Structure 1
Amino acid sequence: MAPPQTHWVIVALETFFCPLPNFTLPAPHTFEFRTYERTRPDQVAERIRDADIIIMTILPLTAEILSAEVSPQLKMISVIASGTDAVDLAACRARGIVVGNTPHCNVTTVTEHVLALYFATRRSIILTNSLTRAGDWVTKGSQQSTMDGPDGKPPRTAREELVGIIGYGAIGRNIEAKAKMLGMKTVVAGRKGAPAPEGRVPFETVIRECSVLIVCLPRSPETLNLISEAEFHQMKPYSLLINVSRGGIVDETALVSALKEGRIAGAGTDVYSQEPAEPGNSVLLAPDTAELNLVTTPHLAWYADETLDNYSRTCGENIAEFVTIGKPRHQVC
């Protein structure tokens, strides 16, 4: 029987996202680090040819890349993120490649970003800033009408809001707690098209009744276009949509139409169907959205010093436990 492996080639493919974990492996384990600030899809195969462990964040790892022909030594993938939709998990399971992620590391900062997007949309901060700089205050004498919702009424205060949380993981639970501290009422949505379990409210009821919808659930085949044309037609005219999940869960074309037609009051998003997003590939950033109450940020809700420290520590723990006991602390498959 071959002796157990004690030397590991660890390849980090996207270090610009997060500094490499500062860790050591217990004896007799040793390792060689190879680091790349950025890696294009066409560079992956060459860089992981003899890798035992890969560290990545959003770089697509397809079934072809994960095949024994391309990555014959690969045993583990450490994802510096909660979401693992960039990794073909079925291909990993087929080969016995272990995948670990770094959950709960960004809970605080994503929650704070959600609240920032809420206040920015409810108070029309970005839109009134642009119009004020353009001289619109002088022209109209007041910006009050800009802040009115499609129902013609002034913005609501936090204690008047009913917040519907779609996705009740660590981030969803933390959002609920912080929203309640602001005096908001909260409900948690059940699965779309299914009876709501105890403690949840049917998805369709949440869409119809809530004044703020916060989307914070993973992307999967079941959640693609979860909120689309039908849902926007049911929402209150004073409702807001805040999306910090993944691109593709909210139908972007339907969202823009809802804003243009006054079916909802505003939206804030940190995620896009295609990333990096720019006016040429995203309807959310097209020139004709400039005067909508639409706040867009570049998928940085997670970004904070605390988050980077958490990611680095958790990634190190995953790798150390994998090489010693064969299972990362946070195993996905």
Structure 2
Amino acid sequence: MNRPKVYIAKKIPSFVEEYIGKHCDYEMYDNEGRISEETLYEKIKDTEGLLQSGIAIDQKLLDRAPKLKVVSNVSVGYNNFDTDAMKQRNVIGTNTPEVLNDTVADLIFALMLSCARKVSYLDRCVKEGRWNMMDDKSFFGKDVHHATLGIVGMGRIGQDVARRAICGFDMNVLYFNRTRKTEAEEKLGVRYADMETVLSSSDFVLVMTPLSSDTYHLIDEPQFRLMKSDAIFINASRGATVNEKALIKALQEGWILGAGLDVYEQEPVDRENPLLKLDNAVLLPHIGSATEKTRNDMAMLAAENMVKALTGQVPPNIVPELRK
């Protein structure tokens, strides 16, 4: 029986590589940095499976991989998939939801606390010898406990954040979602509201929506102007859900108090991006799931998705747009 041939376009843990090797013939990219387009296209011309992260799976790539049957993302997001093109070629696309929920929720709270209590700014002040915490109001922060958190996008991670907010910090939680989450309302005590109410009533605003044509620049200048002047904005979803120019203007002109970001419209962030010069912005390099255990779990789940798709089984995590 012929074994499926796959290509692994990123480094993965050895135990995940061993698992794939039990079921498939494989090659793996083992260099630092991202794989070049030229190398990738050469490697996938005869492969049935591709395990990767963030590579655009579009018509151009599919034309160079005529035998491709499954693309497995090592991520929960899949905006790198051209699902229409994949449907036409009967290529399955999978992702890695749920295994990273708690880790990302932890990071979101780290951003909220860091912004509210000016952790990054004060760390810099101490290291630069500026020690005047008792008298300098620029050192003062904002309380998180008993504040109102507004969540735009009440998916799994949004619900995990809400649980932390309510159980750990006695926060009030409002949310907006395309469909109401009545079970979350009953279980967690979150309250549904329209988008305008969530934005205008919240001390912290968190965006956790997937990126689609409907959510591109969902948060723009009108939305920032609805927020409180002492509100803190957090984005850990996808950079393009927010108009970054409008966010920069909001921070520079004081429409909102601060922002914590793990995602950006352009990644890596351009060195000339004004965000890099703002003391009221806490910036992270898209590391929401970046703990060793979670990244290992994601890689294993991605491998299982790919192997199952190639061995006559139904992978558990086919993205919704590609489910039959």
TM range (shorter): 0.7 to 0.9
Cα distance, 1:125 vs structure 2: 1.1
CA distance in structure 1 between the partners assigned to 2:217 and 2:15 by the alignment: 34
Residues 250-269 of structure 1 mapped to structure 2, 5 A cutoff = 250-269=242-261
Q: After the TM superposition, which of the residue ranges 267-276 and 305-314 deviates more from structure 2?
A: 305-314
> Which amino acid in 1 is paired with 2:148?
L
**1:308 corresponding residue in structure 2:** 295
CA contact (8 A) 2:70 2:310 kept: no
SS in 1 for 2:93: strand
**1:244 corresponding residue in structure 2:** 236
CA distance in structure 2 between the partners assigned to 1:118 and 1:251 by the alignment: 20
**1:9 corresponding residue in structure 2:** 5
How does the TM-score come out when normalised to structure 2? 0.88
User: Does 2:207 align with 1:220?
Assistant: no
Residues 16-165 of structure 1 mapped to structure 2, 5 A cutoff = 20-23=16-19, 30-37=23-30, 38-67=34-63, 70-137=64-131, 142=134, 144-148=136-140, 155-159=142-146, 161-165=147-151
**2:188 corresponding residue in structure 1:** none
CA distance in structure 1 between the partners assigned to 2:2 and 2:93 by the alignment: 19
Identify, as 1 or 2, the structure richer in helix: 2
CA contact (8 A) 2:74 2:96 kept: yes
CA contact (8 A) 1:60 1:86 kept: yes
Aligned residue pairs: how many?
Answer: 308
User: Does 2:197 align with 1:205?
Assistant: yes
CA distance in structure 2 between the partners assigned to 1:41 and 1:241 by the alignment: 36
CA distance in structure 2 between the partners assigned to 1:218 and 1:129 by the alignment: 33
CA contact (8 A) 1:317 1:328 kept: yes
What does the per-residue CA deviation read over 1:141-174, in whole Å, with 9 as the maximum and x for residues that have no partner? 75642145xxxxx622412x11111111111111
Cα distance, 1:53 vs structure 2: 0.1
> Which amino acid in 2 is paired with 1:107?
N
SS in 1 for 2:240: coil
**2:264 corresponding residue in structure 1:** 272
User: Does 2:171 align with 1:177?
Assistant: no
Q: Which runs of 5+ in 1 are unaligned?
A: 149-153
> Which amino acid in 2 is paired with 1:213?
V
Q: Which runs of 5+ in 2 are unaligned?
A: 186-191
Cα distance, 1:308 vs structure 2: 2.0
CA contact (8 A) 1:22 1:316 kept: no
- TM-aligned CA distance change 1:24 to 1:157, over 3 Å: closer
- TM-aligned CA distance change 1:283 to 1:41, over 3 Å: farther
Percent identity of the aligned residues?
26
- TM-aligned CA distance change 1:81 to 1:197, over 3 Å: closer
CA distance in structure 1 between the partners assigned to 2:301 and 2:164 by the alignment: 25
CA contact (8 A) 1:19 1:308 kept: no
Cα distance, 1:64 vs structure 2: 1.1
What does the per-residue CA deviation read over 1:263-289, in whole Å, with 9 as the maximum and x for residues that have no partner? 111110011111122413x3422x4x2
RMSD of aligned C-alpha atoms? 2.3
CA contact (8 A) 1:18 1:312 kept: no
CA distance in structure 2 between the partners assigned to 1:111 and 1:197 by the alignment: 18
CA contact (8 A) 2:6 2:24 kept: yes
